[in-house]
Structure 1
Amino acid sequence: MKLFKYTTWRPFDAEGNSQKCNTRENLLRSLLYFNSAEKFNDPFDLCPFFDIDCSDDELKRTTTETIMQEEGLTLLKARRKALQLIRQQGLHTISGRKSAVEKITAKMMNVGVCCFTTNHPTTILMWSHYGDHHMGLCLEFDIPNEIPSNENLECSFLPPVPVTYSNHLPKFKLVRHTLDDLLCCLRTKSMEWKYENEYRAMHRNYIGTIAYSPSLLQSVTAGCKMQDKEFDELSKTIRNMKIHPNLFRAQKKEREFGLTLIKC
């Protein structure tokens, strides 16, 4: 599966002096950064709809149905278990439901998310929005359905899944929420973001860098507004990598709105 990641490339400060560049370090060490949704530019990320105003009967019914489906219990046994769970978690009161929502939301913000796109590095908007206004990089990955093991890998992550675009927030269960519920929230965004054609990988309890197999990175493309000095530093960085991906430089077309890629 070919996926792309747009990012910044700032190896020098405003005066032209070398400075710490996280992207450079991540390239050299084959690392991807998994961020919290709390840091994303969309305030609706991982913010599902919780129906805390539902009636007691509705809460009991949906919880009973969930338990029957997941555990195969009879209606009577599932209803008893549902009532017990609702009492234990204080969900028979509005204040208890609000408290449950706060705990679930806090848990969601501990999910590390790494974003990709299927949009090729000739896509102008992706450069403008995520590639540092055409001064950054686009990384091309060839990611299999199963992430290869890495002997230096301290954390593992789920393979990228496509984002679903909708006009409605996903609905999250107050009781007995599952990994599928979390995945639904992870990959649901507003229809206004559809142009991104986004995929997301996640780690359930980790924010930070995670190693990947160096062979997954197929190419690196420099934005069309990257300065020569910065491009030279990028070339040097790639020469120092364990496996050398192809290097391209985006260039504006002369007679139309578009980009072409020059192999370097």
Structure 2
Amino acid sequence: MTASVRTALITGASAGIGATFARHLAARGYRLLLVARRADRLEALAAQLVEHHGARCEVFAADLTDPAAPAAVLDHAEQQGLGIDVLVNNAGLSGRGTFAETPWQDLAAEIQLMVTTPTELAHRVVPGMKKNRWGRIVNLSSLAAFAPPAASLLYTGIKSYTLNTSQAWDMELKPHGIHVTALCPGFTRSEFHDVMGTRDEADHLPKILWQEPEAVVAEGWAAVMKGKPVCVPGLVNKVSAAAMKPMPTRLGYHAGKALNPFKNS
């Protein structure tokens, strides 16, 4: 199987890192299934990718905070005759209110979007990847996964979940030809802060802390292709992660793999 016949499913594909992943993979001959809430943005992006790269692009508008969405996305893929070879779990958000004062439905939506949905999507596509003996999964974590907990926020805990489970999946699935990488960017120029209402605060941060999404995606894709379970893109972010994490990530991965007393033989 060559890259030209492989299909990538990208969530949160309408802007930012998700859209950049779509451009990156379209330029490398992948077929794409682009998923996000905004159908108009998806269709505009798909048209650009067809024009510039001749890529086959399917779009599927879905609210990934809906528990029914993962099954609907993959039912659509099956109807289109698309087996998923690459999964980029990119969709995300961050709440701003306090835990106690935020309505439960908002917290539940955040957990569904960034914990349950990406986990279910991965669980649903892995059997096909195992059958083909080839697969790539990129889970968007964050530099925040290495940081101490922050008052009120679920975000650091969620991104820590993504970091840890990505490594666990990689340990299990790598013998089957499937690489899983937790991509942990720091501050990235995208619409994220506009959507979250944190643009003013973000604009006051030093320029050295920021990366362009193209740099994040290029390093993240290279990492998953090389079989690296964790990717912290950019020198500043690597230094920050090392400073925040007592045990180096690479050492922690190998220690967890070797010392897990509950692993299946």
TM-score, normalised on structure 2?
Answer: 0.22
Highest RCO, 1 vs 2 (Cα 8 Å, sep ≥ 6) = 1
* Higher share of residues assigned helix: 2
Give the number of the structure whose alpha-carbon radius of gyration is greater: 1
